[in-house]
Amino acid sequence: MNSLKYRDISMMEEAGGCLLCHHAPCAAACPYGLEPDRFIRSIRFENAEGAAQHLPDILPCLACEDKPCVKACIKEKLGRPVPVDELMLALSNEEKLRPENVDLSIEFCGVRCENPFLLSSSVVASNYEMVAQAFEMGWAGAAFKTIGTFVANEVSPRFDALRKEALPFVGFKNIEQISEHPLEENVAFLKQLKRDYPSKVIIASIMGQNEEEWTYLARRMEEADADIIECNFSCPHMAANGLGSDVGQNPELVAAYTRAVRRGTGLPVLAKMTPNIGNMELPAMAAIEAGATGIAAINTIKSVMNVNLATFSSGPDVDGRTSVGGYSGKAVKPIALRFIQAMKSCEPLKGIPISGMGGIETWRDAAEFLALGCGTIQVTTAVMQYGYRIIDDMIDGMKHYLGTFGYKRVGEIVGKALPVIIPADDLNRESICYPRFDRDKCVGCGRCYISCRDGGHQALRQDARTGKPIMDGNKCVGCHLCVTVCPAGAVTQGKRVPKRDIVNIEQGL
């Protein structure tokens, strides 16, 4: 690792290169049984502080000269091995706190959840064995893959990813449809899951083709011992009339089908919303007025991805053709949060339970959804990429965060971010928050200068000798583009100055 100044950046970069192996060779090679792969995964999933609490007081890596973990790393086949020993030593420098125990349980739609982390309705929750494995690993519940009266005839392939630089993918497209299992088989899965895991939350996602089917499916899900029913009004690639996002864009259809579901069950009902609409509040209100208990949001976003410039087909390529499909993954999180905030700011929906989803990979992502008013969160794409095991750091990271800030229960942060999101016209426009440049951290790369020159307000120049930036306070508008692009963490938020007091400010390094 580099010096302490860049420890966090270096840790994330090196951990980001880890292949996150199953049965990791580095763990098998460790003579001290430390499971370094588990700790590296925690760094990757923003839980370094939490993971540090589980390290032994005296780290045996300090006395390990042979470094068998590094020698065993198969990343070397792709270039160079992950510096496992250095990552462990860097992690040991994290402050060891012992926050008090935190209660992660939460009540959602009248149903107790042992924690707020659920699988969302998709391939990750599509049969008994998969969901049972997830429950064993710590997930509180699962929205089972959408059940209908028909069996989907799927295409191949049906997944593709949007990549950026060294990232495996930042966005994900799928054109998969509803469950490939017959209705009776799905009902049997649900019954067995509830019998074997009575404390876990079973959400039965359904999709009907007309009102009679919605009523029938709701009745069958209650008979299957589901805890909650989720109405899939939002799948972006179910193209038949009366299915998928075509329903979710039509408040009248949403209301009609919600009433049909309510006729078939007394269980809590969630209406799953499509983001392929400008104003999600309208179908959400229609669902609540028609008898829904809560909302699930967001489903995937209609997308076209990865046009092949040799063949002009796009992904996923199905025999030279494709279709519009659902976009998910980390990149959609800000869009999902915006829809959640809009619904929670809408007077008729303020007190309505929301199960949030869209781009959640870490405990921090989940906490953002909770802070914007969600009672539970749902995950698919991150599980497809990394496996059910991400629940370890979701639970541990959330507990560590809550305990560190003095919260006793996870419910205490629900909605806490809503009051500070205000209309743009009400923001403070009478002052400028200047960036602060850290002389010691700056490496003189010039990234801030280039971005300010070509995409900002030409408020920076580069010192000819050191390469470090010098700011012209008369040109700087405090946009913080330099803060976002600095690779060394050397530019941070600085002092806020009333515009009337700004006279010939110059700050240099």
Omega prior to 316 cis, within 30 of 0: yes
Q: Which helix (H) or strand (E) holds 302?
A: strand 301-303
**Angle formed by the axes of helices 36-44 and 7-16, to 10°?**
110
324 C-beta neighbours (distance < 10 Å), count: 16
Q: Closest Cα partner for 45 from 335, 305, 382, 313?
A: 382
SS3 for 166? coil
SS3 for 508? strand
3-state helix, strand, coil in the chain (%, to 5): 40, 20, 40
Q: Check if 448 is active-site.
A: no
Q: Report d(CA 237, CA 327) in Å as an integer.
A: 11
Give the 3-state secondary structure of 420-479: HCCCHHHCCCCEEEEEEECCCCCCCCCHHHHHHHHHCCCCEEECCCCCCEEEECCCCCCC
Q: Which of 30, 73, 235, 442 is labelled catalytic?
A: 235
Give the 3-state secondary structure of 308-337: CCCCCCCECCECCECCCEEEECHHHHHHHH
Q: Report d(CA 45, CA 119) in Å as an integer.
A: 17
Q: Is 138 left (phi over 0), alpha (psi -120 to 50) or beta?
A: left
DSSP state of 103: B
Amino acid identity, residue 383? V
- The answer to whether 301 and 236 have CB atoms below 8 angstroms apart is yes
Beta strand pairing status for 117-119 and 376-379? parallel
SS3 for 301? strand
Beta strand pairing status for 141-147 and 201-206? parallel
Residues noted as catalytic: 235
